[in-house]
Every structure is written in structure tokens, then in C-alpha cells.
Amino acid sequence: MKSGLKQEKGFTLIEVLAAIVILSIVSLVLTSYFTNAMSYSKSNQNKTIMVNLARNALFYVEKQDFKEMKDYFITKGNDAIEAEECTLVNCSYSNLFSNMTALANVLNPTVNDIRYKINIIYQPELVDNPFTTPIDKSAVKDYLIPVKVEVRRVENNEQPAYNVMLEGYITDEKIR
């Protein structure tokens, strides 16, 4: 008499448990990989937002009167246009810009409920670079003002703290 149970084909309980354990280990490894990829993507998204804010501030300053900007940075010796000095309530750059509300919004933007501060810093060392010829220096001084735009978050809320800096030039209307 032959038993029919010995002839059945299928997986044993041990084989099923081993497969579930292997599948769980693989899924945990993949989950950690995707979590890291998401945080890296979020970090890059925040940096991209900050670079775009810096570009916006640089474009806004480029559209202003070049003579006024040159007078502010070079003649009067000021080294920066700072976000702390210009808010919607009070702005100390009224003699330099015509629209204080627009300037306050450019220097203190809010994107996705995250507040940023933008400073525009004059870079005189780029004009006085010893590697350029005297002819180049005079041509550059007359038509370009080198600036660095620095963007930082106001509050970091468990996010990594970093600043984004963008270098550019305020150009004279004659060469635009």
C-alpha cells in the first residue's frame, strides 16, 4: 500500500519562510536606498530654488540705474545691499531703488512657506585683479560692477544649513 502524501509536490514551510526572509532583507535594503535618494533629491531641489532666487535678485539689480549702483558701491564705498536693511515696513535703500516693496520682496522672498534672505555683495577684488592688464581694468571698471549674491534660509527646521552664492556683474546700459 502506497501513501499518496509522499508523492505530492510543493514547498515546505521552511522553504516558504526562507523565501519571505530573503525578500524582506532585499526590500529593506531597497527602502533605505530610495530614502537616501529622496533626501538627496530634496536637497538638490532646495539648492535649485536658492540658485533661482539668487539669479532673480541679480537680474533685478541689473535692471536698476547703473550710475546709481556704481555710485553706491564704488564712490560711496558701500560693500553690500543686505536683506536685513530692507523689509516691507522699512527700507534704507530708498535713494538707490524706486520701488521699495519690490526690493523688499526680492531680498526677503518666501517660496513654499520657506523664508530666505538675500545679500548682494560688491567684489572690488575682481576689478583690482593683478592678472589683468591696465587697459582691461579701466574698461571693466567703467562698464561692469562685480557682485556676489548670497542666499540663505532664515530657519533651517531640521534641514542642512547651507548658503548658495552666485557671482555676476551689474552691467552698464551702454553694453547691454
Q: Answer whether 58's CB lies under 8 Å from 144's CB.
A: no
Residue 114: CB partners within 8 Å, gap ≥ 6?
46, 49, 153, 154
Q: What average pLDDT does range 46-72 have in this prediction?
A: 94
Full-prediction pTM beyond 0.85? no
pLDDT at 9: 77
pLDDT at 84 over 90: yes
The mean pLDDT of 63-86, rounded to a whole number, is 91
**What is the mean pLDDT of the segment spanning 143-156?**
90
Is there a contact between 119 and 55 (Cβ–Cβ < 8 Å)?
A: no
pLDDT at 37 over 60: yes
Q: What value does the mean pLDDT take over residues 140-162? A: 83
> What does the pLDDT read at residue 175?
80
Task: State the pLDDT at residue 143.
Answer: 87
The terminus-to-terminus CA distance of the chain in angstroms comes to: 101
Looking at residues 71-92, what average pLDDT do you find? 90
Q: Residue 33 and residue 39: Cα distance in Å, rounded? A: 10
Distance CA 87, CA 170 (A): 23
Percent of the chain with pLDDT over 90: 56
Query: What's the pLDDT band for 162 if we cut at 50, 70, 90?
Result: confident
Residue 77 binned pLDDT confidence (cut-offs 50, 70, 90): confident
Q: Which grid coordinates belong to 100?
A: 521699495
Q: How many other CB atoms are found less than 10 A from the CB of residue 50?
A: 25
Tell me the longest C-alpha to C-alpha distance in the chain. Answer: 111
Higher pLDDT, 77 or 8: 77
pLDDT band at residue 138 using 50, 70 and 90 as cut-offs: low
CA distances from 156 to 44, 45, 47, 115, 161 (A): 15, 15, 13, 10, 6
Mean of per-residue pLDDT scores for the chain: 87
Confidence band, pLDDT 50/70/90 cuts, at residue 124: confident
CB 170 within 8 A of CB 141: no
